[in-house]
Chain A
Amino acid sequence: LAKTTQPISMDSYEGQEVNITCSHNNIATNDYITWYQQFPSQGPRFIIQGYKTKVTNEVASLFIPADRKSSTLSLPRVSLSDTAVYYCLVGDMGSNYQLIWGAGTKLIIKP
Protein backbone atom coordinates (compact mmCIF):
# COMPACT_ATOMS: atom_id res chain seq x y z
CA LEU A 1 0.00 0.00 0.00
CA ALA A 2 1.25 3.47 -0.85
CA LYS A 3 2.35 5.57 2.11
CA THR A 4 2.60 9.31 2.44
CA THR A 5 4.47 11.46 4.93
CA GLN A 6 3.94 15.17 5.49
CA PRO A 7 5.06 17.47 8.28
CA ILE A 8 2.32 17.78 10.89
CA SER A 9 2.59 21.56 11.08
CA MET A 10 4.53 24.55 9.80
CA ASP A 11 4.70 28.23 10.67
CA SER A 12 5.62 31.12 8.44
CA TYR A 13 5.10 34.86 8.05
CA GLU A 14 3.13 36.95 5.62
CA GLY A 15 4.98 37.62 2.38
CA GLN A 16 7.24 34.58 2.67
CA GLU A 17 7.38 31.61 0.32
CA VAL A 18 6.29 28.34 1.93
CA ASN A 19 7.28 24.89 0.73
CA ILE A 20 5.47 21.79 1.98
CA THR A 21 6.88 18.41 1.01
CA CYS A 22 5.04 15.12 0.88
CA SER A 23 7.01 11.89 0.64
CA HIS A 24 5.25 9.02 -1.04
CA ASN A 25 6.28 5.53 -2.14
CA ASN A 26 4.55 2.73 -4.05
CA ILE A 27 2.35 5.17 -5.87
CA ALA A 28 0.62 4.35 -9.13
CA THR A 29 3.05 4.98 -11.97
CA ASN A 30 0.52 6.56 -14.29
CA ASP A 31 -1.43 8.62 -11.80
CA TYR A 32 -1.26 12.25 -10.82
CA ILE A 33 -0.15 13.79 -7.53
CA THR A 34 -2.69 16.27 -6.25
CA TRP A 35 -2.77 18.79 -3.43
CA TYR A 36 -5.79 20.09 -1.56
CA GLN A 37 -6.37 22.89 0.94
CA GLN A 38 -8.86 22.72 3.79
CA PHE A 39 -10.19 25.50 5.99
CA PRO A 40 -12.00 24.77 9.27
CA SER A 41 -15.59 23.60 8.86
CA GLN A 42 -15.20 23.18 5.10
CA GLY A 43 -14.39 20.30 2.78
CA PRO A 44 -10.96 20.21 1.09
CA ARG A 45 -10.50 22.29 -2.03
CA PHE A 46 -8.30 21.46 -5.04
CA ILE A 47 -5.11 23.53 -5.36
CA ILE A 48 -2.87 21.94 -7.97
CA GLN A 49 -1.81 18.64 -9.50
CA GLY A 50 0.99 17.29 -11.62
CA TYR A 51 2.65 14.17 -12.97
CA LYS A 52 6.31 15.13 -13.28
CA THR A 53 8.65 18.14 -13.10
CA LYS A 54 7.01 21.46 -12.34
CA VAL A 55 3.48 22.77 -12.62
CA THR A 56 2.38 26.30 -11.84
CA ASN A 57 -1.02 27.91 -11.59
CA GLU A 58 -2.29 31.20 -10.24
CA VAL A 59 -2.01 30.15 -6.59
CA ALA A 60 0.83 27.63 -6.29
CA SER A 61 3.62 25.64 -7.86
CA LEU A 62 4.19 21.92 -7.60
CA PHE A 63 7.60 20.31 -7.96
CA ILE A 64 7.84 16.57 -8.63
CA PRO A 65 11.25 14.90 -9.09
CA ALA A 66 11.81 12.26 -11.74
CA ASP A 67 11.53 9.37 -9.27
CA ARG A 68 8.15 10.70 -8.08
CA LYS A 69 8.90 9.67 -4.51
CA SER A 70 8.04 13.11 -3.22
CA SER A 71 6.30 16.30 -4.23
CA THR A 72 6.67 19.85 -2.96
CA LEU A 73 3.87 22.36 -2.86
CA SER A 74 5.16 25.91 -3.06
CA LEU A 75 3.03 28.85 -1.98
CA PRO A 76 4.54 32.20 -3.01
CA ARG A 77 4.15 35.26 -0.79
CA VAL A 78 1.69 33.76 1.67
CA SER A 79 -0.94 35.81 3.46
CA LEU A 80 -2.94 35.21 6.64
CA SER A 81 -5.72 33.66 4.55
CA ASP A 82 -3.40 30.83 3.54
CA THR A 83 -3.62 29.47 7.08
CA ALA A 84 -5.16 26.05 6.49
CA VAL A 85 -4.42 22.34 6.35
CA TYR A 86 -2.76 21.08 3.16
CA TYR A 87 -3.10 17.50 1.96
CA CYS A 88 -1.27 15.55 -0.72
CA LEU A 89 -3.19 12.86 -2.58
CA VAL A 90 -1.71 9.94 -4.51
CA GLY A 91 -2.95 6.71 -6.01
CA ASP A 92 -1.84 3.33 -4.73
CA MET A 93 0.04 1.10 -7.18
CA GLY A 94 -1.31 -2.10 -5.69
CA SER A 95 -3.82 -4.44 -7.29
CA ASN A 96 -6.61 -2.88 -5.27
CA TYR A 97 -6.30 0.69 -6.49
CA GLN A 98 -7.31 3.31 -3.98
CA LEU A 99 -6.66 6.94 -3.24
CA ILE A 100 -4.21 7.64 -0.43
CA TRP A 101 -4.41 10.96 1.36
CA GLY A 102 -1.57 12.41 3.37
CA ALA A 103 -2.21 13.17 7.04
CA GLY A 104 -2.21 16.87 6.29
CA THR A 105 0.09 19.75 7.17
CA LYS A 106 -1.35 22.51 9.32
CA LEU A 107 0.14 25.75 8.01
CA ILE A 108 -0.08 28.80 10.26
CA ILE A 109 0.77 32.18 8.80
CA LYS A 110 1.71 34.91 11.23
CA PRO A 111 1.53 38.68 10.61
Chain B
Amino acid sequence: KAGVTQTPRYLIKTRGQQVTLSCSPISGHRSVSWYQQTPGQGLQFLFEYFSETQRNKGNFPGRFSGRQFSNSRSEMNVSTLELGDSALYLCASSQTTGTRPEQYFGPGTRLTVT
Protein backbone atom coordinates (compact mmCIF):
# COMPACT_ATOMS: atom_id res chain seq x y z
CA LYS B 1 0.00 0.00 0.00
CA ALA B 2 1.37 3.41 -0.92
CA GLY B 3 2.03 5.75 1.96
CA VAL B 4 0.97 9.34 2.45
CA THR B 5 2.44 11.60 -0.20
CA GLN B 6 2.93 15.34 0.01
CA THR B 7 3.81 17.78 -2.73
CA PRO B 8 5.90 19.73 -3.11
CA ARG B 9 8.62 18.57 -0.72
CA TYR B 10 10.35 21.94 -0.62
CA LEU B 11 9.08 25.42 -1.32
CA ILE B 12 10.51 28.92 -1.10
CA LYS B 13 8.11 31.84 -1.10
CA THR B 14 8.26 35.55 -0.46
CA ARG B 15 6.39 37.42 2.28
CA GLY B 16 2.89 38.36 1.16
CA GLN B 17 2.53 35.54 -1.33
CA GLN B 18 0.21 32.61 -0.92
CA VAL B 19 0.95 28.91 -1.11
CA THR B 20 -0.98 25.69 -1.63
CA LEU B 21 0.26 22.36 -0.33
CA SER B 22 -1.14 19.01 -1.37
CA CYS B 23 -1.59 15.73 0.48
CA SER B 24 -2.68 12.35 -0.86
CA PRO B 25 -3.73 9.99 1.94
CA ILE B 26 -3.38 6.25 2.07
CA SER B 27 -6.03 4.55 -0.02
CA GLY B 28 -9.18 4.01 2.03
CA HIS B 29 -8.33 6.63 4.64
CA ARG B 30 -11.01 9.27 5.00
CA SER B 31 -9.39 11.54 7.58
CA VAL B 32 -6.59 13.96 6.77
CA SER B 33 -4.94 16.16 9.38
CA TRP B 34 -2.46 18.96 8.88
CA TYR B 35 0.30 20.01 11.26
CA GLN B 36 2.88 22.73 11.43
CA GLN B 37 6.21 21.82 12.97
CA THR B 38 8.86 24.32 13.98
CA PRO B 39 11.87 23.94 16.26
CA GLY B 40 10.45 26.39 18.76
CA GLN B 41 6.77 25.35 18.84
CA GLY B 42 6.94 21.62 18.18
CA LEU B 43 4.03 19.89 16.48
CA GLN B 44 1.02 22.17 16.17
CA PHE B 45 -2.34 20.89 14.96
CA LEU B 46 -3.83 22.96 12.14
CA PHE B 47 -7.03 21.19 11.15
CA GLU B 48 -8.59 17.87 10.32
CA TYR B 49 -10.85 16.94 7.45
CA PHE B 50 -13.08 13.92 7.39
CA SER B 51 -15.29 13.06 4.45
CA GLU B 52 -14.78 16.52 2.93
CA THR B 53 -15.81 18.33 6.13
CA GLN B 54 -13.53 20.19 8.49
CA ARG B 55 -13.98 18.37 11.77
CA ASN B 56 -11.48 20.10 14.02
CA LYS B 57 -9.42 23.25 13.89
CA GLY B 58 -6.40 24.33 15.87
CA ASN B 59 -5.55 27.83 17.00
CA PHE B 60 -4.24 29.32 13.80
CA PRO B 61 -5.30 32.53 12.05
CA GLY B 62 -7.74 32.52 9.18
CA ARG B 63 -4.86 32.82 6.71
CA PHE B 64 -4.55 29.07 7.09
CA SER B 65 -7.29 27.16 5.32
CA GLY B 66 -7.81 23.79 3.81
CA ARG B 67 -10.17 21.55 1.97
CA GLN B 68 -10.70 17.93 1.17
CA PHE B 69 -11.90 16.45 -2.07
CA SER B 70 -14.22 13.52 -2.66
CA ASN B 71 -11.24 11.21 -3.22
CA SER B 72 -9.94 12.24 0.27
CA ARG B 73 -7.01 14.18 -1.15
CA SER B 74 -6.49 17.40 0.74
CA GLU B 75 -4.98 20.79 0.13
CA MET B 76 -3.83 23.40 2.57
CA ASN B 77 -3.55 27.06 1.68
CA VAL B 78 -1.71 29.83 3.44
CA SER B 79 -2.39 33.37 2.26
CA THR B 80 -0.34 36.50 2.89
CA LEU B 81 2.70 34.58 4.00
CA GLU B 82 4.72 35.81 6.95
CA LEU B 83 8.29 34.97 7.91
CA GLY B 84 6.97 33.03 10.89
CA ASP B 85 5.15 30.64 8.58
CA SER B 86 8.46 29.03 7.69
CA ALA B 87 8.07 25.48 8.94
CA LEU B 88 7.68 21.84 8.08
CA TYR B 89 4.05 21.13 7.21
CA LEU B 90 3.03 17.57 7.84
CA CYS B 91 -0.02 15.77 6.64
CA ALA B 92 -1.37 12.63 8.30
CA SER B 93 -4.12 10.27 7.24
CA SER B 94 -6.17 7.79 9.22
CA GLN B 95 -9.18 5.62 8.63
CA THR B 96 -11.39 7.55 11.03
CA THR B 97 -11.07 10.43 13.49
CA GLY B 98 -10.02 10.83 17.12
CA THR B 99 -6.94 9.58 18.95
CA ARG B 100 -7.80 5.90 18.45
CA PRO B 101 -6.99 5.45 14.78
CA GLU B 102 -3.32 5.31 13.96
CA GLN B 103 -2.20 8.34 12.00
CA TYR B 104 0.19 7.82 9.14
CA PHE B 105 2.36 10.80 8.38
CA GLY B 106 3.78 11.96 5.09
CA PRO B 107 7.36 13.23 4.69
CA GLY B 108 6.24 16.84 4.94
CA THR B 109 6.64 20.00 2.90
CA ARG B 110 9.44 22.29 4.00
CA LEU B 111 8.24 25.88 3.47
CA THR B 112 10.70 28.74 3.64
CA VAL B 113 9.37 32.29 3.58
CA THR B 114 11.88 35.02 2.74
Beta-carbon contact of A91 and B92 below 8 Å: no
- Once A43-B90, A43-B105 are accepted as A-B contacts, the answer to whether A87 and B43 lie under 8 Å apart by CB is yes
Beta-carbon contact of A42 and B107 below 8 Å: yes
Question: Closest CB of chain B to A96's CB: distance in Å?
Answer: 7
Question: Closest CB of chain A to B110's CB: distance in Å?
Answer: 9
Interface residue SS majority, chain B: strand
Beta-carbon contact of B33 and A99 below 8 Å: yes
B93-114, CB under 8 A of A: which get 1 and which 0? 0000011101111111000000
Question: Closest CB of chain B to A44's CB: distance in Å?
Answer: 5
Beta-carbon contact of A104 and B33 below 8 Å: no
**Residue B56 interfacial (CB < 8 Å):** yes
Contacts of B33 in A (CB 8 A): 99
User: Which stretch (A10-18, A26-34, A60-68) binds chain B?
Assistant: A26-34
Beta-carbon contact of A98 and B45 below 8 Å: yes
**Residue A54 interfacial (CB < 8 Å):** no
Contacts of A90 in B (CB 8 A): 99
Beta-carbon contact of A31 and B99 below 8 Å: yes
**Residue B48 interfacial (CB < 8 Å):** yes
By beta carbon, the residue of chain B nearest A46 is: B102
**Residue B61 interfacial (CB < 8 Å):** no
- Once A34-B99, A98-B58 are accepted as A-B contacts, the answer to whether A43 and B45 lie under 8 Å apart by CB is no
- Once A100-B45, A104-B43 are accepted as A-B contacts, the answer to whether A43 and B108 lie under 8 Å apart by CB is yes
By beta carbon, the residue of chain B nearest A104 is: B42
Beta-carbon contact of A89 and B102 below 8 Å: no
B: which residues have CB within 8 A of A? 4, 33, 35, 42-45, 48, 56-58, 90, 92, 98-100, 102-108
A: which residues have CB within 8 A of B? 28, 31-34, 36, 41-46, 49, 87, 89-91, 96-101, 103-104
Q: What are 14 A-B pairs with beta-carbon distances under 8 A?
A: A34-B100, A36-B103, A43-B4, A43-B106, A44-B90, A44-B103, A49-B99, A89-B99, A91-B99, A96-B57, A98-B45, A99-B99, A100-B45, A104-B43
| Contacts A44-B105, A45-B105 known; 18 new A-B pairs at CB < 8 A | A31-B98, A31-B99, A32-B99, A32-B100, A41-B107, A43-B90, A43-B92, A43-B107, A46-B102, A89-B99, A90-B99, A91-B99, A98-B45, A98-B56, A98-B57, A99-B45, A104-B42, A104-B43
